[in-house]
Chains A and B, each alone.
Chain A
Amino acid sequence: EAGVVQSPRYKIIEKKQPVAFWCNPISGHNTLYWYLQNLGQGPELLIRYENEEAVDDSQLPKDRFSAERLKGVDSTLKIQPAELGDSAVYLCASSYGRSSYNEQFFGPGTRLTVL
């Protein structure tokens, strides 16, 4: 069974440029998460989807970040414009159902460097 797929794995951009990350969750997983992981820190939730609905986006900086999950499968996270402080690893995870007991499966992440 394929795991959570993310692309690209690495991205280097200059500040003020836009950037987008893509995530394909495990087949059948209706809940999808985007996390931000700064160097030496644990992941922090940015947004959670249940199917195509964003049910928790309270930690998403909406002035520059946006996300979508059309058709409740793949998801895209965008930053426009990027700032130096956005350099981090962006993780996507998925789970079946929304119970707090359910295991979240993580992708390998996209490492973003903003110059």
Chain B
Amino acid sequence: GDSVTQMEGPVTLSEEAFLTINCTYTATGYPSLFWYVQYPGEGLQLLLKATKADDKGSNKGFEATYRKETTSFHLEKGSVQVSDSAVYFCALSDPGAQKLVFGQGTRLTINP
């Protein structure tokens, strides 16, 4: 079945550091790919998405590129802020199943 694997956390960085959170997926079809973020005490929010190969999703300084050849959707940000501290979830949605399949989440802490 479809699955998503994220790099294990927690990840702790200093403010203004470069961030990469790795995400790889397994899917039978051509899924859409998403990054969701969960800030402390809040619900999951969509951060960015990409619907086909080589698409780049971007939002709030975060970027991720849909790489079909490596089945990856790594999340990057050039300069993180304390306010980026949250749990980040990579997810896919297979057109056939029409449901989100999530990775296990990566907790990110940014220190000032």
Contact = CB atoms under 8 A, between A and B. Distances in A.
Interface of A: 3-4, 33, 40-45, 48, 56, 91, 93, 98-101, 103-109
7 contacts: A4-B43, A40-B105, A98-B98, A101-B49, A101-B51, A104-B46, A108-B43
B104 A40 contact: yes
Contacts of A99: 95, 98
B49 A107 contact: no
B44 interface: yes
Interface residues of B, number: 25
Given A40-B105, A100-B32, A100-B93, A48 B46 contact: no
Contacts, number: 58
B102 interface: yes
Given A43-B44, A103-B46, 6 more contacts: A42-B104, A43-B89, A100-B97, A101-B93, A108-B42, A109-B43
Contact of A41 (B36, B91, B95, B105): B105
A105 B42 CA distance: 12
A44 B31 CA distance: 17
A39 to B, nearest CB: 10
B1 to A, nearest CB: 11
